[in-house]
Structure 1
Amino acid sequence: MQIDIVVVFFLLGFLATFLKSDIDFPEGLYKGLVLFLLLAIGLKGGAALEQYFSASLIIQVVAVLAFGFILPLIAYPLLRYFGLLDRINAANIAAHYGSVSVATYAVAVAFLESKGVEYEAYFPLFVAILEAPAIAVGILLAKQRNSSLNLKGLLHESLLNQGVLLLFGGVIIGWLAGPQQMASIAPLFKDLFHGSLALFLLAMGQIAARQSKHLIEYGTFIATFGILMPLIGGLLGGLLAWSFGLSEGGTLLLTTLGASCSYIAVPAAMSVALPQANQGIAITASLGVTFPFNVLVGIPLYYSLIHKLLFS
């Protein structure tokens, strides 16, 4: 099986760090690539939204929103009662796994494009929608029954974090501009997308290698959960896509979104909302286990199963 070229960059970063030959990747460049990918994905979806906007899409949006609330509610009892984590840390990690990874989604898009498989162009809207609900659910799960809830703060952290704001902002700009006006900025946001994703994955490989070293500290449960939860979320995402009647590419993308977990928007929001939570456990699970699993094994596995079971 041929590995997608952008994934090779991830392997290079991982191997370099694992062999203690760290690549000096500037932090400013990493942050800039995050901003670029968020905007590029949002703009692409927004440009297509006007063409595909319909009543059926609104129904799909509502269902995907509900999906975002359900995922952390599945992850929480697994972490709480099987992993024996305390309420706050279980809720914190559940929020990570209820949200999505923009980079994992971008890798899935690159995977489909390398195979020439079509997918619904409005999918960035689903990415933006799935960023927020898990943050709200995670904060609610962490609160004690007798503790007060800062509704204003909850809404701010859920809806105005960097990931949600830039994705939705890109969708709105792309929607208002339309395909014709978008053509003027396509050389930056379209033509350079795969190259920027490759650089970003190089940095992600370094981070994943550093986080994987902490697995001994946090035990085998985190490693097991980091693989099991993506399989559960991916299965549910695939079933939801099947119920929508999505294309083969769209089914893979929604499966991937269900299987992914956040390591940008949610950690930033939860570190403010739940400062007492151990963010190291969540980052180790998401970046040390789940992200590499999805990029190296999960996406090809999901596509193979989808193709054989639903579209062969």
Structure 2
Amino acid sequence: MMLDAVVAFFILGIVCQLTGAKLSFPDGLYKTLSMFLMIAIGLKGGLALQAHVDPSLLTMSLVVIAFGLTLPLLAYPLLRYFGQLDKINSGAVAAHYGSVSVATYAVAVALLEASNISYEAYFPLFVVLLEMPAILVGLVLAKGNLKIVNGEFIKKELIANQSILLMLGGLAIGYMGGASVQKLSPMFIDLFSGVLALFLLKMGIVAAEQLSTLKKNSIFLISFAILMPMIGGLAGTGLGLVMGLSAGGVALMAVLGASASYIAVPAAMKESLPEANAGMSITASLGITFPFNVLIGVPFFIALGSYLVQ
């Protein structure tokens, strides 16, 4: 099977880091590429949503939110009782694995489109909905009570969250902008794969850097960071089938279940759970799970979705 060119840039980043090549990105470029992808994903979803508004979308959205609340509850006992982590770190890591990775979703979309596999237009909305529920559950599990989930936290992490605002804003602009949105296509649609390739090049470098930090609990951490995406991905596959999604939709639901956050959740944990070991969570989600999903998980779930929905 031929390796997708976009994914190949991720491997190139890993090779550059492991061989000691001095490949540096200009200051702020990583954040710019990340912002571009979030806006582009929202716009693409909004454009497609113009012609595909589904009356059952509210019900499906509630189901997706419930899915986001469930995933950290599956991860927590694995971390607490098999990994022997304390409550604080078990809750923090579980939150990462209940939330989503926008980059992993972007890779899945690129591979689906390259293979001409269609998917439901409203998935960017599901990405937004899955950003935050796991953070709330993770904090409650870590602290053992609901007091940490206060009004200030909800305002800062839910209402003013950059990822949520950019994707939801892009979705609204794409949906309500009508024909005028086509003016943005040369940048946000036509250049999507190229920008994603640059982003993955950077992510390959960062992922390889994280691998060098594996120390305590490394065997369990590696095992968990591979097992949990499979659990979440298979659960997402089952959910997609129950929801009656297309082959591409089932694959994307699986990818959302399999991915782990390394942007929104770390920021929330740093603010609300500073005593947690941030390095362990980032190493697992970015150093192990992200490469696993890009190279193995996403192609597997796309193939599984195509096999199950024919």
The alignment's TM-score, normalised by the length of structure 1, stands at: 0.95
Contact 1:42 1:169 in 2 (8 A): yes
Q: Which amino acid aligns with 1:158?
A: L
Instruction: Summarize the Cα distance change of 1:148–1:303 in structure 2 as closer, same or farther, 3 Å threshold.
Output: closer
AA in 2 matched with 1:82: F
Partner residue of 2:227? 228
Shift of 1:27: 3.4
Q: Which runs of 5+ in 2 are unaligned?
A: none
Quick check: 2:248–2:306 contact (8 Å CA) kept in 1? no
> Which residue does the alignment assign to 2:56?
56
Counterpart residue type for residue 255 of structure 2: T
Partner secondary structure for residue 121 of structure 1: coil
Please state how far the C-alpha of 1:181 moved relative to its aligned partner: 1.6
- Alignment partner, residue 262 of structure 1: 261
Question: How many Å apart are 1:190 and its aligned residue?
Answer: 0.5
Identify the residue that residue 187 of structure 1 maps to in structure 2.
186
| Contact 1:133–1:158 (Cα < 8 Å) also in 2 | no
- Asked whether the equivalents of residues 96 and 260 of structure 2 are also in contact (C-alpha less than 8 Å), the reply is yes
User: Quick check: 1:311 aligned with 2:309?
Assistant: yes
Contact in 2 for aligned 1:40/1:170 (Cα 8 Å): yes
The 5-angstrom pairing of residues 241-252 of structure 1 reads 241-252=240-251
1:200 paired residue number: 199
Aligned-residue offset at 1:114: 1.1
Identity %: 54
Deviation track 1:239-289 (CA, whole Å, cap 9, x = no partner) reads 111011111111111110100010111111111111111110000001111
Q: Quickly say closer, same or farther: Cα 1:77–1:158, change in 2 above 3 A.
A: farther
Shift, 1:168, TM fit: 1.3
For 2:144 and 2:242, locate their aligned partners in 1 and report how far apart those are by CA, in whole Å. 37
RMSD of the TM alignment (CA)? 1.4
Instruction: String of CA shifts for 1:202-259, please: whole Å, max 9, x gaps.
Output: 0000000000112234421110000000000001100111011111111111110100
The 1-side partners of 2:62 and 2:243 are apart by 12
> How far apart, in 1, do the equivalents of 2:284 and 2:27 lie?
22
Distance in 2, Cα, partners of 1:159 & 1:81: 34
Show the 5 A alignment for 1:117-196. Answer: 117-145=117-145, 148-156=147-155, 157-178=157-178, 180-196=179-195
Aligned to 1:14: 14
Number of paired residues? Answer: 309
Equivalent runs, 1:205-216 vs 2, <5 Å: 205-216=204-215
Q: Name whichever of 180-189 and 200-209 sits farther off.
A: 180-189
Task: Kindly provide the CA deviation profile for residues 123-163 of structure 1, in whole angstroms up to 9, marking residues without a partner as x.
Answer: 11111111111111111112244x84351123122343221
Q: Which runs of 4+ in 1 moved over 6 A?
A: none
Q: Counterpart of 1:237? A: 236
AA aligned to 1:267 is P
In structure 1, distance between residues paired with 2:147 and 2:290: 35
**SS across alignment from 2:25:** coil
Write the distance in 2 (CA, Å) between the matches of 1:134 and 1:148: 16
- CA–CA separation in structure 2 for the residues paired with 1:108 and 1:46: 18
Aligned to 2:2: 2
- How much has 1:176 moved relative to structure 2? 1.7
List alignment gaps of at least 5 residues for structure 1.
none
1:271/1:4 Cα in 2 relative to 1: closer, same or farther (>3 Å)? same
Contact conserved, 1:136 with 1:158, CA < 8 A, in 2? Answer: no
Kept in 1, the 8 Å contact 2:262–2:285? The answer is yes
After alignment, is 114-123 or 64-73 more displaced? Answer: 114-123
The CA deviation at 1:169 is 1.5
**CA distance in 1 between partners of 2:243 and 2:22 (Å):** 45
